[in-house]
């Protein structure tokens, strides 16, 4: 079968990882790129040898010649670009965060459904090797039925030098990073029925919150905590590791710093190294994220070829994005938010 032809919109900081990922993916290749900034277009076009280059997405869609689009722009352009893809009946991948509001995200899902095209949100963290290892351990039944969990991302890493816009928005850590941690909580312990949250801004140089503590009730009856911080200075910087604790009826599981997984039950304790692979184009400490970019793009390609729904389809990701909205609502009102009322 020939490779699926793809086009990528948004040639910024993170798209370089996506372009490397596409080079490694079996069954797909990027044939056209677009960025409204000619400098970024040239840098990425030259680095990856892409001849078809556009500064206008509408022109690129009008010219066509590709079977999917990968939207790697920042959030404010997501709805217009996904709707453009739907209008041209081109299957679309859209970076997180889904959209500026839940209403926009719902409209995007509806537009793609009406056009009969798949939409996948590039929610890559659940594809990280250590997170997949936790999922596998739970699926094996090693700790029985989970009743409690903690999903923790606490860092002092300077994310603002690579992504200066993160310091500017009214919203920061929940929308940018906590969105991944909330998705991991859903992926591991299932859908969420209610949530309460508290936030803080510690770094005076940014506009949004950089600390959040969120309490989740899961459909299954399990309770979990999602805690995220970019204001935490530690002896050894853990960026970008998500640490996980799960207690189950038959045992417990701990994913700790350094990508170590410990599973304990009546049979004893098993420790394993679940570190991500350092792909040839990747660099530490980003390699954990970079490997998951390749993994989700391979998943998209395989799903598109076989007509299967992706793990983080637009419809699925509405349930993660609702948790982001709910966390901001709860932090403002100090009330518990019923997730069902948002969906």
Is 96 among the residues that bind ligand NAD (CB under 6 A)? yes
Phi and psi angles of residue 57, each rounded to the nearest 5 degrees, phi first: -65, -35
103 is written with which tokens? 């209403």
Single out the residue of 4, 15, 121, 142 in contact with ligand NAD (rule: CB under 6 A). Answer: 15
Asked if 8 contacts 33 with a C-beta cutoff of 8 angstroms, the reply is yes
Stretch that binds ligand 89Y, among 141-149, 172-180, 260-268, 307-315 (CB under 6 A): 172-180
User: If 0-12 CB within 10 Å is exposed, 13-18 middle and 19+ buried, where does residue 225 land?
Assistant: middle
Site string for ligand NAD, 267-286 (x = CB under 6 A): --------------------
| Helix/strand/coil for 138 | helix
- Give the whole-angstrom CA distance, residue 147 versus residue 168: 38
- Give the whole-angstrom CA distance, residue 32 versus residue 29: 9
> Which does residue 36 touch among ligand NAD, ligand 89Y, none (CB within 5 to 8 A, set by kind)?
ligand NAD
Is 69 among the residues that bind ligand NAD (CB under 6 A)? no
Single out the residue of 57, 182, 189, 324 in contact with ligand NAD (rule: CB under 6 A). Answer: 57
Q: Which helix (H) or strand (E) holds 41?
A: helix 38-48
- Nearer to ligand 89Y (CB atom), residue 218 or residue 287: 287
Single out the residue of 240, 248, 276, 314 in contact with ligand 89Y (rule: CB under 6 A). Answer: 240
Site for ligand 89Y in 91-120 (CB under 6 A): none
Is 176 among the residues that bind ligand 89Y (CB under 6 A)? yes
Site for ligand 89Y in 243-302 (CB under 6 A): 289
- Give the whole-angstrom CA distance, residue 11 versus residue 55: 10
Is 130 among the residues that bind ligand NAD (CB under 6 A)? no
- Nearer to ligand NAD (CB atom), residue 65 or residue 141: 65
End-to-end C-alpha distance for the chain, whole angstroms: 39
Site string for ligand NAD, 176-195 (x = CB under 6 A): x-------------------
Single out the residue of 163, 203, 213, 220 in contact with ligand NAD (rule: CB under 6 A). Answer: 163
Taking the complex as a whole, how short is the minimal distance between the CB of residue 175 and ligand 89Y, in angstroms?
9
User: If 0-12 CB within 10 Å is exposed, 13-18 middle and 19+ buried, where does residue 281 land?
Assistant: middle
Single out the residue of 19, 177, 189, 261 in contact with ligand 89Y (rule: CB under 6 A). Answer: 177
How many residues belong to the site for ligand 89Y (CB under 6 A)? 7
- Nearer to ligand NAD (CB atom), residue 180 or residue 218: 180
Phi and psi angles of residue 207, each rounded to the nearest 5 degrees, phi first: -90, -30
**What is the edge-to-edge ordering of all strands in the sheet holding 52-54?**
52-54, 28-34, 4-9, 68-71, 92-95, 119-122
Is 19 among the residues that bind ligand 89Y (CB under 6 A)? no
Asked if 182 contacts 144 with a C-beta cutoff of 8 angstroms, the reply is no
Return residues touching ligand NAD (CB under 6 A): 9-15, 34-37, 40, 57, 72-75, 77, 95-96, 122, 124, 163, 176, 289
């Amino acid at each position: 079968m020939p490779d699926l032809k793809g086009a990528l919109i948004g040639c910024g900081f993170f798209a370089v990882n996506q372009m490397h990922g596409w080079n490694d993916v079996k069954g797909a290749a990027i044939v056209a790129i677009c960025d409204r900034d000619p400098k970024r277009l040239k840098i990425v076009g030259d680095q990856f040898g892409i001849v078809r280059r556009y500064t206008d997405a509408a022109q690129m869609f009008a010219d066509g010649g590709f079977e999917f689009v990968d939207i790697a722009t920042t959030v404010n352009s997501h709805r217009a670009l996904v709707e453009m893809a739907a209008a041209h009946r081109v299957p679309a991948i859209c970076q997180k965060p889904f959209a500026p509001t839940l209403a926009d995200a719902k409209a995007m899902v509806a537009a793609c459904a009406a056009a009969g095209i798949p939409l996948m949100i590039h929610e890559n963290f659940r594809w990280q090797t250590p997170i997949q290892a936790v999922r596998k351990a739970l699926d094996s039944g090693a700790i029985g039925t989970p009743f409690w969990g903690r999903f923790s991302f606490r860092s002092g890493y300077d994310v603002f030098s690579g992504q200066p816009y993160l310091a500017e928005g009214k919203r920061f850590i929940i929308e940018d990073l906590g969105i991944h941690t909330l998705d991991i909580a859903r992926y591991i312990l299932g859908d969420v029925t209610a949530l309460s949250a508290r936030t803080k801004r510690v770094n005076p140089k940014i506009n949004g919150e950089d600390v959040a503590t969120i309490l989740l009730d899961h459909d299954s009856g399990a309770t979990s905590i999602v805690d995220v911080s970019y204001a935490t200075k530690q002896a050894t910087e853990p960026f970008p590791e998500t640490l996980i604790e799960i207690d189950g009826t038959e045992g417990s599981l701990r994913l700790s710093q350094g990508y170590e997984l410990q599973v304990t039950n009546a049979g004893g304790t098993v420790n394993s190294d679940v570190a991500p692979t350092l792909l040839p184009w990747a660099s530490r400490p980003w390699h954990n994220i970079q490997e998951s970019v390749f993994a989700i793009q391979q998943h998209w390609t395989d799903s598109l070829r076989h007509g299967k729904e992706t793990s983080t389809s637009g419809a699925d990701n509405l349930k993660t994005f609702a948790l982001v909205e709910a966390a901001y609502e709860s932090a403002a009102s100090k009330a518990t938010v019923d997730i069902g009322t948002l969906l």
